[in-house]
Amino acid sequence: MQNVTLIITEKPEAAKRIALALDFDGAPKNKTEKGITYYLIKREVPIIVVPALGHLYTVTNQKKEKYNYPVFNFNWAPRDIVERKTYRIRYCIDIISKLSKKAEIFIDACDYDIEGSIIGYTILKYACKNKEEIAHRMKYSTLAKEEIIRAYNEVSPHLDFSIIEAGLTRHEVDWLYGINLSRALTIIAKKHSNHYTTLSTGRVQGPTLNFLETREINRKIFVPTPYWQIKAKVKIGKALFEAEYKKGIIKKNRVLKNIITNCAGKNCVIERIEKAKRHLTSPFPFYLGSLQREAYKLFKITPAQTAKIAQRLYLEALISYPRTSSQKLPVSIGYRTIIKKLQKNPEYEKLTAELLSKRFLKPNEGPKNDSAHPAIFPTGNTTDRSLKITEKKTLDLIIKRFLAVFSDDAIIQETAISISINNNLFAIKGTRTAEKGWTRFYQPYFKFKNNVLPTVINNQKVRLIKLIPEKKFTRPPFRFNPSSLLKKMEKENIGTKATRSGIVQTLEKRKYICGEKIIVSELGFEVSEILREYCPSIVSIDLTRKLEERMEKIKEGKEKREKVIKDTIELLMKTTKILKTKEKIIGARLNNAVKKTLNNRIEVGYCSSCKNGKLVILRSKKTGKRFVGCTNYFEGVCKTAYPLPQKGVIKPNVQSCKSCGCPTIKVSIRGKRIWNLCLDPKCSSKFKGKKNEMQIV
């Protein structure tokens, strides 16, 4: 084959869509070798489209040292050499390498962002034997057919090397931080306890844990102070209303008593009526962070899940590329074309018709921009498969947000009635929607409660029914949830849009944090305090932010990758030297924290085997499956363990099993079905003609 073009994509789904779009007949031939499918395309020149499986190469230690730190010698290597259970990576590399020998033209068609650029670059450099210098670059924001054809026809003559340099720097810096600090903590803890527990920290993980810990400390040291609010229950016509004291909170009890005394038995009169119209501008288009926050607020879908869902929708050409930080929708995406496609769906028919009747379509754009991709938008395409519930919800949210940004302002009529009771002013506030505007397009995701007030006039007398004083206490700072934590990370400019949710998952995996309203564990506290005490620069948000800024400068050609790596190594040399001199102290602290964290897990009862241990819910490091084990296992005394269902929420029961005396638990699946379950799988109650081990409560 002569003049063969090899197109490399990031994922198999992208390879299939590109092949279908570029083949003249729309029916490319496919070949499968070792589970990897690639495509042969009929066009002016022969084209082969082959997928990667995400990152095929990663940063690794040159000397393969496992039980030592610091480590500063690294190189890029195939992931199957570095990670377990990645044999498909080797098959993929072998196939790409074989196909590259037939090709003369190379096109990187991986996602157009930092990660995609690195994936394409490393494949061209290592699997294709240094073809990165002659390769071209396809840039697209959706996998819609017309977009793919445009990207192929307008292929860039070379790779985006400035983005690649910044991406390589990020990976190498993060590896240096992770391998040295995580290995140091893990080795120090093992030396002291002889038990292996994976501990970790990193360039972004450390500062994130630090401000979670700071929030938790602020909550613990918070001292509530009392304050009072007072309302007046009044009757206007035949309706009762509660008017709030206009000066707001009252900090002293004697002031409250004076107000009550002054108002008791006095006449109420309407002193002033104020009306105003407030414009609610339409929302900005979604970028990844705002989509994650909205999906969490509305559906309780975690940020990490939202990112995965959005990626699936993108790979099926239903939405544009989701890992964007832009709030811009350029004219080039074709507003009317997309809206006309959406109009074919009966659910959006009326809304789209209204927008299409406009002479001009102009989106309400936000300030955020992304040089690689626009804001997230629907393509208007459909899919043959039945979407999952979470996918349907997320897609509907994106579509309605897209439609809303083209609509008019909503107008809210606000009314405030001031009531004087012996010169003490109270106010009743009312609102009603004067014009729904964009809110009609964003239903049911925008909720506004109308509170219509009666028609009144100045100096009108109203009847005071009673005064309602309320004693309250100031509240501590709210705990972060996954959504607000991502917002905090974004605000502090640490991590990237693609990695932030993964950092939160890692903190959970390491048992540093837990719960929907995030609580920092004993282990999380100790790790954060050790880092802040012995190497404060590692948990510094300023240091992390400056590194992000330096990587942006690399993109702009104003900073050298080698200088950033050198500075990182110098900092880590100093840090690891300090950790080595304090290994005994740090090891004791970490070991104590690990024990406390393990013992704080959900207790389900006492162990009947060793008599003094507690049965707690654990998770296997090898399989990831949860089970019940005895706390004395960690002391090498007791090996009692029971299997658990892998789905559902588990809570301990107060009563033990009537048949065997073993502790029992409640298993709730999606909050709807609840079972009582004896932990002992050999319990006689499970073999008395009962079909199921779990008894419905």
Query: Which residue is associated with the tokens 């600090």?
Result: 181
Phi, psi (degrees; rounded to nearest 5) at 513: -135, 165
Query: Which residue is associated with the tokens 């040295």?
Result: 180
Task: Give the closest residue to 291 by CA, choosing from 334, 316, 314, 324.
Answer: 324
If one counts every other C-beta atom within 10 angstroms of the C-beta of residue 468, the result is: 13
Contacts of 608 (CB under 8 A, 6+ apart): 661, 662
Cβ(292)–Cβ(273) below 8 Å: no
Which spans in 234-328 are helix H? 253-263, 288-299, 303-315
- Whole-angstrom distance, CA of residue 342 vs CA of residue 333: 14
Beta strands in 423-548 (DSSP E): 424-435, 461-473, 513-514, 519-520
Task: Give the closest residue to 237 by CA, choosing from 426, 424, 428, 425.
Answer: 428
If one counts every other C-beta atom within 10 angstroms of the C-beta of residue 450, the result is: 10
Query: Which residue is associated with the tokens 């499970």?
Result: 686
- Whole-angstrom distance, CA of residue 517 vs CA of residue 98: 51
- Whole-angstrom distance, CA of residue 78 vs CA of residue 641: 39
Chain centroid to Cα 452, Å, comes to 39
Radius of gyration over alpha carbons of the chain, in Å?
31
Phi, psi (degrees; rounded to nearest 5) at 608: -80, -10
Task: Give the closest residue to 425 by CA, choosing from 254, 265, 262.
Answer: 262
In 171-208, which positions are buried (b, 16+ CB within 10 angstroms) versus exposed (e)? Answer: bbbbbbbbbbbbbbbbbbbbebbeeebebbbbbbbbbb
- Whole-angstrom distance, CA of residue 53 vs CA of residue 89: 7
If one counts every other C-beta atom within 10 angstroms of the C-beta of residue 568, the result is: 22
* Residues forming the active site: 321
- Whole-angstrom distance, CA of residue 654 vs CA of residue 639: 24
- Whole-angstrom distance, CA of residue 395 vs CA of residue 555: 33
Cβ(91)–Cβ(34) below 8 Å: yes
Lookup: tokens for 570:
């110098």
- Whole-angstrom distance, CA of residue 499 vs CA of residue 506: 11
